[in-house]
Chains A and B, each alone.
Chain A
Amino acid sequence: DAGVTQSPTHLIKTRGQQVTLRCSPKSGHDTVSWYQQALGQGPQFIFQYYEEEERQRGNFPDRFSGHQFPNYSSELNVNALLLGDSALYLCASSIGLAGAGETQYFGPGTRLLVL
């Protein structure tokens, strides 16, 4: 049973550039959530996708956008990169429109470094 997968594993960008990160959910899961984790901190919720729509959003600017495809995989796009966007970006998958405490399973993350 394949778990959550993310690509790429590492990425280096310069300020002002744009980046796209990808996620495939665990088999049988249809909801994808994205989190940003700065060094030494707990993950911070960015947004959640279900049925190809953004359902929830955290306190992140519009530079952060996403998409979910019919096969439930998802992309996270970040425009106009800032140095402060350097972090580990985590994708988590779960079943159904979360609201009843479904467990979220995380992927290995994409380490983004902005120079």
Chain B
Amino acid sequence: EDQVTQSPEALRLQEGESSSLNCSYTVSGLRGLFWYRQDPGKGPEFLFTLYSAGEEKEKERLKATLTKKESFLHITAPKPEDSATYLCAVASGNTGKLIFGQGTTLQVKP
């Protein structure tokens, strides 16, 4: 069965303290791995799509990487405005559905 697990569930950082969020997945035929940011009470905001092992993508202070079993979202020198829940999702096989992890809630303190 396709499954996505994110760790840690919650992460508290000081402003400027870099760290990484983990997304481990088990899927039959990965079609894409997606990272989203979600603020409280709002819809997920798209960040990155990764398709194959070794692929990396960057946006401002965020960098996403992908291996055959997991993905990392690296946050460099975070700011308080980076505080949010970060969701990882995979698309597998020929289905159109996304399978989400439970998310990592990040809090960055000034």
Contact = CB atoms under 8 A, between A and B. Distances in A.
B100 interface: yes
B37 to A, nearest CB: 11
B80 interface: no
Interface of A: 4, 6, 31, 33, 35, 40-45, 48, 50, 55-56, 58, 88, 90, 92, 94, 97-109, 111
Contacts of B98: 33, 35, 43, 45, 92, 104
Nearest to A6: B43
A16 B93 CA distance: 37
B95 A99 contact: yes
B97 interface: yes
Contacts of B91: 98, 101
Given A41-B102, A42-B101, A109-B42, A98 B96 contact: yes
Nearest to A108: B43
A103 B46 contact: yes
A98 B43 CA distance: 20
26 contacts: A33-B97, A40-B102, A42-B4, A42-B89, A42-B103, A43-B100, A45-B98, A45-B99, A48-B96, A50-B96, A56-B95, A56-B96, A56-B97, A94-B96, A97-B96, A98-B91, A98-B95, A99-B31, A99-B93, A99-B95, A100-B32, A101-B31, A101-B91, A103-B49, A104-B46, A104-B98
B45 interface: yes
Contacts of A92: 98
Interface in B76-102: 87, 89, 91, 93-102
A40 B36 CA distance: 15
A104 B43 CA distance: 12
B16 interface: no
